[in-house]
Structure 1
Amino acid sequence: MVRIGFFVVLIFLVTNVMGQINLSWKVQHPVSKAWFPFGEKGSVQEALIAANQLPDPFVGMNENKFAWIENYQWTLESEFILTESEINQFVELDFPSVDTYASVFLNGKFVGETNNAFVRYRFDVKDKIVLGKNKLKVVFTPPIMYQKPRMAKVGVTLPAPNDVGTTKVAPHCRKPQYQFGWDWSLRILTMGFWESAKVDVFSDNKVLANYSNTLELTNEQAISEFTLVLAKESEGSFTWKSKLFGEQALKSVNKQLKRTETLLNPKLWWPRGQGEAHLYEDHWVLQNENGDVIFEKDVRFGVKKVELVQEKDQWGISFQLKVNNRPIFCKGADYIPDDIFPARITDEKLKNSVKTMLDCNFNMVRIWGGGFYPRESFLEACDEGGLMVWEDFMFACAMYPGTDEFLANVRTELEQQIPRLASHASLTLFNGNNEVDVAWKNWGFQKDYNLSKKDEVLINSYYQKLFKELIPQTIRAFTKIPYEHTSPLSNWGNDAFYNDGTQHYWGVWHGTDPIEDFGRKSGRFNAEYGFQSFPELATLSSFSKPADWKLDSPLMKMRQKSYVGNNMIAKHSNLLYGKTADFQRFVYFSQLTQAKAVGIAVVAHRTTFPRCAGTLYWQFNDCWPAPTWSSVDYYGRWKALQYEVKNDFKDVTIAARIDTLGKEKYVLISDIPTGFLCEIEARIYDFQGKVLDTLMCKQAIAYPHSVELFPQELKAYKKSDFAIQFNWKDETGKSCERLFIHEQFPGKPTSGVEPRVVIESLDILTGKGVLRIENETILQDFWFASKEGKVLMEQNFVHFLPGKYRIEFEFEGNVTKENCYWFYH
């Protein structure tokens, strides 16, 4: 089966009003009845922290002090003033995000209710406003209090293994699922506004949003439909002026203006590494029939064709994405919310995350389905950089209702989110849910929740209605971007399971597989796999004290949210690098172990194309500081894994292919769309730096392709320890190098003279420093960091041949010569 999507543009939320008022709030404590500031956005929890009513939940065991908030309704109040001219115009309350169950009152009159954190609510309050001061009240009801009396309507107990509350309401709530507790997150059910609520005052009409959809695409032309969404229905005519397409007179239908345009010989949007991520630039002006400008905006859009190929082949059933008719090997990670408090996530942080992904050679990011839909700033950065977006709908690891009421609520969410998301050039794939189908078929829900056959039939029907009917039907009404109902399509375990569709491989972490099985067990598209590690000392110090730094301390046991526990990290790091009683060194070993595990998988996946068409590791980021699967911790500090994938994801790289530890194969990998001739030199050293051999070859490499290097020549060295340094030139002629350590017994300490490590300079004005290293024997996985600040390096956790090195680095925060540290082995 081949699914095809044609595509364009960025959506822009726009404002063209005579007046817009950002509302600031106060909140009342439900017990003490005291009022205290809330601000323009945030949550009840954040307001309590700011008012010193509660401590930082990220520190120590403070998360336990937040549970009581779920048991009370919370009242927020705000005021705004309207002039005589304003009250004679259109007046609406605009709530971009209400989290989640709220009743809204204006001047003592009921306005409306909200019940979906993923929906933008607008309320016409023309009949409730008064001249001068207006009083607005919003009453928030916590999820359990709201849903408990309503759950019986569903007719069955819905499995919700990641809801750690006594009453499991997560599946009933259109709210981020990770906030109910996850195996990498604390439980905090926020109530409030992720974005500022506003009062909009406008005289005629306004444009709320614009989006577009490519109807047809050939080499000769692209036919696209552009849409403007109006605040009010209008019988009058409008003039839509476009710098690219000219002027057109239109009338609105269902509050929408649509125009269809043709681009001749279109320039296509390509993923990073495949070509230019081209975006067209246009300028739009909308005038009413009186000639008044009610909307003006610079817009950008991209044009591409995307196909999802799912066909039976010699291995099983494929899962291959094609962009502009070219098969793309997808490289990246799964992205979770950046904070337990969504309102704290800044546009700058989102853009920096995308920059890190692109700097580390990602071409895809998967937005995981237990969080929330991405913001415009994130998607715009993906558009600009050529980062493909796999977008889950917000359903994860539970069974969901399929009642008419629930589906109607979800339909509103979909009708807002799908056209917004699909209008971005980067949006490449829609996915119905995370692990709902595989959980239902393999996790024992039927027994654990005492479900009858009748219950099973009902839950199956709910799944069918939501993920196989409502969502795909709504997608098709807006776009041709491909959709699959779930990920993964196949469970891990049985060897045959790896031959069909998407795979979430958890045989090492959740099973008993050896770490080498990351290199042996590859799905057709690996959408999840990973291994945990601890964050570095500066991050540990943000929530714990040195007295807590042991695996069996109450704090570390509580901080570890995975049921597998910290012992799984210790098990594999002990096997790879040996036991240590030094917790700081254990942290270092944990990060090396994580990098080794995921690195083994990445290289295995890339070298088995076309059987394997994608590798997305779990997970890129964190929502709080803790031991997790992330490659970048909560404070943005790179773990060893982030440096590893930066090298392993390069479009042209040489990597170690590992099926068995100590028996590496070295492979040249290329994702460059055109073939080229690669000249390679390999020098083999002993651990004292003596050159044992020099190997040379010229290798023609096509797209996408991998080839083993020097298989016969290296046989003579496989029974001894050695270092091998590869030097080559990529397709641009740029010189590249990479050093590998080959050990018969990986993890044993390297004997030799202690290296001399000196911080030569630290300039606090520029945030730059220089590190000097002198070593007489091989240095393995040299890691440089700070106990307080953040160190940023081009490469870290790196091997060094014997020699003298001068390394430049950047830093943020309190970095001094005294608080810097380093590890090696």
Structure 2
Amino acid sequence: MALHYNPEIRLSQPLNGAWQFRQASQTSWLPATVPGCNFTDLEANGVIDDPFYRDNESRVQWVEREDWIYRRTFSLNPELAEYDDIQLVADGLDTYCDILLNGTRIGTGENMFIGQRISCKPWLVEGENTLEIYFHSPITQTRPRFEQAGFAYPAENDKSEDKLSVYNRKAPCHFGWDWGPRFVTSGIFRDIYLQGVHNIRIQDVAVRQCALSDERARLRLDIAIAGKVGESVAVSVECAQTDVQIPAETVTLTSEEQTHALFLDIPNPRRWWPNGLGEAFLYHFSVSLSQQGHTLDTCSQSAGLRTVEVVSEPDSFGQAFYLKVNGHDVFMKGANYIPADSFVHRVTPARQEALIHSAASANMNMLRVWGGGLYQDDHFYDLADQYGMLIWQDFMFACSLYPGDDAFLTNVMNEADAVIRRLRNHPCIALWCGNNEVDMAIKHWQWPEKFDYSEALYQRLKADYMTLFDDILPGKVEEHDSGRFYLRSSPIGFWEDDEDHIGNHHYWGVWHGEEPFSEYQRRVPRFMSEYGFQSFPMPASFDRFTLPQDQHLDSEVLAVHQKHPRGNRLISQYMQGTYPQPQSFADLVYLSQVQQALGLKLAFDAHREARPFCMGTLYWQLNDTWPAASWAGIDYYGKWKALHYQARRSFAPLHLILSQDEETVSVTVTNDTLRSCVLTCTYRLCTLSGDTLHGDEAVLTLEPNALQCWQHIDCSEALRTVDKTELALVAQMFDSEGELVDETVHYFASPVEQPLAPHQLDMQTDIVDNELIVTLHSTVWLRQVYLEVNAENLNFDDNFFDLRPAQTKVVRLALTEAECRNPAPVIASLRSTSVNACQLEP
């Protein structure tokens, strides 16, 4: 948990809420809302239309070239005047700004990623005060540096002719990406407030884990104290979850800021575990400073006790890359996380929790906070701590080289100081990574040829790169977070060089390289930290940002919301010969999601089946930043696509994997838990009409954290007697109570080849305990049944599943109290489709 100060000791006066703003070149003030940004404030005032709607993106690009002024007046809380100092705290200022209080400039900003804490008591007055923040255009502010350089940095995702994004310490994706729009924002995007502090105060607390065993945890709390030299103060620590008494210690300050270490032993400690392996237990510490019995400052800090080791060493295969958590080799299952909105302030705590909860519900244990976005706020990492979600944390550099001048590097050093100190206490932080794909790009993206760099210039740029990522950033990690693993760049290996045996990979042969999905089964690396495929959001989502006439592949509006230059073509191209020809736009978007999910299922299973050679799979990407065709498994509005449901099944701790080699199908059982399990496994080789050809059943004892091959099933005789298009192999796994643990189906032909019967589905509904219960039954074999309903909750507990003849399937949807009182409209809106429904009638 982030460091939280006691509000009864440090009185705060919020400055969020109603402000005014104006374009600097204009004189009229308009109402604004803080937190916010210039784009959403302009929309609220009717100056621009919704930037996300239809093709409005191009119409609002003028905003980035203007300066903007925000101001508000306030009366100072008289209780604040009692404090030794008053600080203006701004957690997020985007980006270049001058901060003026009653006409005096008290601070400046040049980095979106660094919060501001400014002593301001001398400039505050009784009565009305005016706070004004002048935001300089990131474009006009950095253009002189671009012109002075005489060359362009290779920022190919910057969607402008002049590549200015690299000069800005601001979310790179604000300048455009191949999944997101270009909205170069300015504004106050996180909380802003005044806070009263005493002369002696707590500046920071770092919880260091010195030793951890089942018998004892040894902790060191490094408490940074600010105050006058010569002052003495009592420092005390309490931990609510232990009976350990920690005597207060008296500290005499020898400098205006010094760090005092307190040691704490916790007997029989409870460990923090990643999702799926145990409880993500957190200890809560309260740190206080006092003089003569008077409390001067108090803060709370949480910590999870665990060990995380990233093993990246040569081995018999090549170079390993895996995580060892609390002494156990743990297979990482998860996705890449991008900013959940182009306008950062709109990512509310509720939206964050919905995404983290969705990831945990899909059996993920790791998210990679990708380096082209921004460091998330404290609440995000608090949620990750609570849900047991490990975080691969990139620094915010991606797909480009960067300046190496002193001013830029000083700015980055200040950023690294602030970010590492803010995040280091979170048990969720698994590793720091310097950047996204720059190592790979230097070697393989032909930048000298594309950008006409001389040999001397390119060598200088590479030297600047090494200074930043091989010296400055690892140095900062060592200074503030010693012991945490630092990786210079992701990936280590390159997919076109067939280096799967070396470190972590981003494999883009499928999609960018237009290779078939089957390559996922061949190209299995040691750790896959990026790979993916696009799909469209569902029609109900399209209806929120387009008109009906926009909903076709040749639509100019659809092209605006498809940022990959080959995106729509590739979705359709991969579909041909595998799925039915879509008969409508609704069919197209539905089949695109089925294709994405079943394509990535091949990768999920191949990665898990290859352990311990492969020990991680993080697909691209968990979420969206705006409504669009993209690689996301959860669309911008929070609706789970087929991919997310498939990830939930494929990432289950106990999972069946079916893989075909010629006429043999192997059944492998994976157990990611830390306990042995006794399970009953069955398989049936059957026809799509439901007739069983043969099968088997066995009771297996699965070792902890391991996989076991149960059977190699010879299907040759069945394939000779039954056409492969009508054949399926169904495998199931049951626990000791007879409850179904996992089920998976292997087909011997693609959906377009299969003689699927017309869509027929019986749906019975009931309302039980604030849930809509839907009981499903069909007389025919249905592929990828999808249910949709008009309800506040967008996501059933299962969806996009196969339904066999005579099988009964029950799915649930949580309802609001209002929907439970009047469920008729929800039930009436229930509808379904399947691959069967997309086929032409014979």
In structure 1, how many angstroms separate the alpha carbons of the residues matched to 2:449 and 2:729?
54
Residue equivalent to 1:112: 107
Aligned pairs, number: 812
| 1:492–1:717 distance in 2 versus 1, CA, 3 Å | same
Asked if structure 2 preserves the Cα contact closer than 8 Å seen for 1:214 and 1:225, the reply is yes
In the TM superposition, residue 59 of structure 1 has moved relative to its aligned partner by: 0.9
Compute the TM-score of the two structures, normalised by the length of structure 1: 0.93
| 1:731–1:71 distance in 2 versus 1, CA, 3 Å | farther
Greater Cα shift, 230-239 or 60-69:
230-239
Asked if structure 1 preserves the Cα contact closer than 8 Å seen for 2:23 and 2:67, the reply is no
SS across alignment from 2:261: strand
Contiguous gaps of at least 5 residues in structure 1: 1-8
Residue equivalent to 1:376: 378
Aligned partner of 1:801 among 799, 804, 816: 804
SS across alignment from 2:603: helix
In the TM superposition, residue 188 of structure 1 has moved relative to its aligned partner by: 0.3
In the TM superposition, residue 675 of structure 1 has moved relative to its aligned partner by: 3.5
Matching of residues 68-83 of structure 1 within 5 Å:
68-82=62-76
Matching of residues 612-627 of structure 1 within 5 Å:
612-627=614-629
In the TM superposition, residue 155 of structure 1 has moved relative to its aligned partner by: 7.0
In structure 2, how many angstroms separate the alpha carbons of the residues matched to 1:688 and 1:800?
12
Greater Cα shift, 192-201 or 338-347:
192-201
Query: CA deviation digits over 1:532-556, x for unaligned, max 9?
Result: 0001111111111222221111111
Residue equivalent to 2:741: 736
Residue equivalent to 2:242: none
AA at the equivalent of 1:643: Y
In the TM superposition, residue 30 of structure 1 has moved relative to its aligned partner by: 4.0
Structure 1 position 644 matched with structure 2 position 637: no
In structure 2, how many angstroms separate the alpha carbons of the residues matched to 1:101 and 1:559?
29
Greater Cα shift, 22-31 or 566-575:
22-31
SS across alignment from 2:681: strand
Matching of residues 65-104 of structure 1 within 5 Å:
65-82=59-76, 86-87=80-81, 89-104=84-99
Greater Cα shift, 594-603 or 745-754:
745-754
Asked if structure 2 preserves the Cα contact closer than 8 Å seen for 1:755 and 1:773, the reply is no
In structure 1, how many angstroms separate the alpha carbons of the residues matched to 2:319 and 2:517?
26
Matching of residues 244-255 of structure 1 within 5 Å:
244=239, 245-252=246-253, 253=255, 255=257
SS across alignment from 2:144: coil
Asked if structure 2 preserves the Cα contact closer than 8 Å seen for 1:684 and 1:723, the reply is yes
Residue equivalent to 1:792: 795
Residue equivalent to 2:779: 776
| 1:86–1:587 distance in 2 versus 1, CA, 3 Å | closer
Asked if structure 1 preserves the Cα contact closer than 8 Å seen for 2:21 and 2:69, the reply is yes
Matching of residues 581-620 of structure 1 within 5 Å:
581-620=583-622
Matching of residues 655-734 of structure 1 within 5 Å:
655-657=657-659, 665-718=666-719, 720=724, 721-730=726-735
| 1:788–1:179 distance in 2 versus 1, CA, 3 Å | farther
In the TM superposition, residue 743 of structure 1 has moved relative to its aligned partner by: 3.1
| 1:698–1:762 distance in 2 versus 1, CA, 3 Å | closer
Residue equivalent to 1:56: 50
In structure 2, how many angstroms separate the alpha carbons of the residues matched to 1:427 and 1:68?
39
Residue equivalent to 2:417: 415
| 1:754–1:42 distance in 2 versus 1, CA, 3 Å | closer
Asked if structure 2 preserves the Cα contact closer than 8 Å seen for 1:489 and 1:501, the reply is yes
| 1:715–1:340 distance in 2 versus 1, CA, 3 Å | same
Asked if structure 2 preserves the Cα contact closer than 8 Å seen for 1:389 and 1:428, the reply is yes
In structure 1, how many angstroms separate the alpha carbons of the residues matched to 2:664 and 2:37?
53
In the TM superposition, residue 208 of structure 1 has moved relative to its aligned partner by: 4.9
Asked if structure 2 preserves the Cα contact closer than 8 Å seen for 1:789 and 1:811, the reply is no
AA at the equivalent of 1:56: D
AA at the equivalent of 1:686: T
In the TM superposition, residue 804 of structure 1 has moved relative to its aligned partner by: 6.2
Asked if structure 2 preserves the Cα contact closer than 8 Å seen for 1:91 and 1:126, the reply is yes
Asked if structure 2 preserves the Cα contact closer than 8 Å seen for 1:397 and 1:436, the reply is yes
Aligned partner of 2:762 among 742, 757, 776: 757
SS across alignment from 2:649: helix
Asked if structure 2 preserves the Cα contact closer than 8 Å seen for 1:320 and 1:328, the reply is yes
Aligned partner of 1:397 among 399, 402, 418: 399
In structure 1, how many angstroms separate the alpha carbons of the residues matched to 2:631 and 2:370?
14
Matching of residues 532-611 of structure 1 within 5 Å:
532-611=534-613
Aligned partner of 2:427 among 422, 425, 428: 425
| 1:265–1:635 distance in 2 versus 1, CA, 3 Å | same
Structure 1 position 137 matched with structure 2 position 132: yes
In structure 1, how many angstroms separate the alpha carbons of the residues matched to 2:571 and 2:448?
31
Residue equivalent to 1:822: 832
Asked if structure 1 preserves the Cα contact closer than 8 Å seen for 2:286 and 2:298, the reply is yes
Query: CA deviation digits over 1:364-391, x for unaligned, max 9?
Result: 1111111111222221222222211111
Matching of residues 80-479 of structure 1 within 5 Å:
80-82=74-76, 86-87=80-81, 89-151=84-146, 157-218=152-213, 220-230=215-225, 235-244=230-239, 245-252=246-253, 253=255, 255-263=257-265, 264-287=267-290, 289-479=291-481
In structure 2, how many angstroms separate the alpha carbons of the residues matched to 1:233 and 1:45?
45
AA at the equivalent of 1:76: Y
SS across alignment from 2:439: helix
Asked if structure 2 preserves the Cα contact closer than 8 Å seen for 1:94 and 1:121, the reply is yes
In structure 1, how many angstroms separate the alpha carbons of the residues matched to 2:369 and 2:592?
26
SS across alignment from 1:25: strand
| 1:781–1:13 distance in 2 versus 1, CA, 3 Å | farther
Higher RCO structure, 1 or 2 (CA under 8 Å, sep 6+): 1
In structure 2, how many angstroms separate the alpha carbons of the residues matched to 1:767 and 1:167?
55
AA at the equivalent of 1:740: V
Query: CA deviation digits over 1:305-348, x for unaligned, max 9?
Result: 22221222222111121122221111111001110011111112
Query: CA deviation digits over 1:427-478, x for unaligned, max 9?
Result: 1111111111111221121111111111111111111111111111111112
Asked if structure 2 preserves the Cα contact closer than 8 Å seen for 1:10 and 1:211, the reply is no
Asked if structure 2 preserves the Cα contact closer than 8 Å seen for 1:25 and 1:77, the reply is yes
In structure 2, how many angstroms separate the alpha carbons of the residues matched to 1:195 and 1:357?
24
Contiguous gaps of at least 5 residues in structure 2: 240-245, 820-824, 837-842
Query: CA deviation digits over 1:237-289, x for unaligned, max 9?
Result: 222222243322234555344323142443332222333323223333322x2
In structure 2, how many angstroms separate the alpha carbons of the residues matched to 1:445 and 1:787?
49
| 1:62–1:688 distance in 2 versus 1, CA, 3 Å | same
Residue equivalent to 1:3: none
In the TM superposition, residue 702 of structure 1 has moved relative to its aligned partner by: 2.8
Query: CA deviation digits over 1:753-797, x for unaligned, max 9?
Result: 64143464579xx86434343421211110011378654222111
Query: CA deviation digits over 1:392-429, x for unaligned, max 9?
Result: 01111111112211111111111111122121111111
In the TM superposition, residue 97 of structure 1 has moved relative to its aligned partner by: 1.0
In structure 2, how many angstroms separate the alpha carbons of the residues matched to 1:710 and 1:84?
76
Residue equivalent to 2:495: 492
In structure 1, how many angstroms separate the alpha carbons of the residues matched to 2:148 and 2:211?
44
Greater Cα shift, 526-535 or 305-314:
305-314
In structure 1, how many angstroms separate the alpha carbons of the residues matched to 2:78 and 2:322?
61
SS across alignment from 2:752: coil
| 1:553–1:787 distance in 2 versus 1, CA, 3 Å | farther
Compute the TM-score of the two structures, normalised by the length of structure 2: 0.91
In the TM superposition, residue 25 of structure 1 has moved relative to its aligned partner by: 1.8
Structure 1 position 25 matched with structure 2 position 19: yes
| 1:365–1:71 distance in 2 versus 1, CA, 3 Å | same
Asked if structure 1 preserves the Cα contact closer than 8 Å seen for 2:638 and 2:794, the reply is no
AA at the equivalent of 2:51: P
SS across alignment from 1:477: helix
